[in-house]
Amino acid sequence: GENVEQHPSTLSVQEGDSAVIKCTYSDSASNYFPWYKQELGKGPQLIIDIRSNVGEKKDQRIAVTLNKTAKHFSLHITETQPEDSAVYFCAPGKGGGADGLTFGKGTHLIIQP
């Protein structure tokens, strides 16, 4: 099955700085690369995703970049704000997550005021 590793496990940044979280995966057949945000006491919520025919996607302050050759993709958050504090999960999958997603263990992002 898919082996997913996410780094770092905890990331603390000053408000206004940028944050980058990296996800590596093992299955070369993976073709769907989403990032989820989970706030305390809530379910995960999709914030951005990318498919394998695209190298980068941006949505306001967040972006995802994909390197299929090296089998990793990254989440970039610029101009971080207090509401960005949460746990972030990558969840690569095949067929757009047809048979469910394989989640990384999560990155706890802390925004320092």
Of 55, 48, 53, 52, the C-alpha closest to 34 is 48
DSSP strands (E only) in the chain = 4-7, 10-14, 19-25, 32-38, 45-51, 56-59, 62-67, 72-77, 86-90, 107-112
φ and ψ at 68, to 5 degrees? -70, -30
For another protein, give the closer residue by CB, 99 or 113. Answer: 99
Shortest Å distance, C-beta 70 to another protein? 21
Shortest Å distance, C-beta 47 to another protein? 11
**Candidates 15-23, 52-60, 78-86, 89-97; binding stretch for another protein (CB under 8 A):** 89-97
For another protein, give the closer residue by CB, 68 or 108. Answer: 108
Under the binding rule (CB under 8 A), the answer on residue 105 touching another protein is: yes
Give the x-and-dash track for 13-52 against another protein (CB under 8 A).
-------------------x-x-x----xxxxxx--x---
- Give the pair of three-digit tokens for residue 13: 């940044």
- Give the pair of three-digit tokens for residue 74: 């990254």
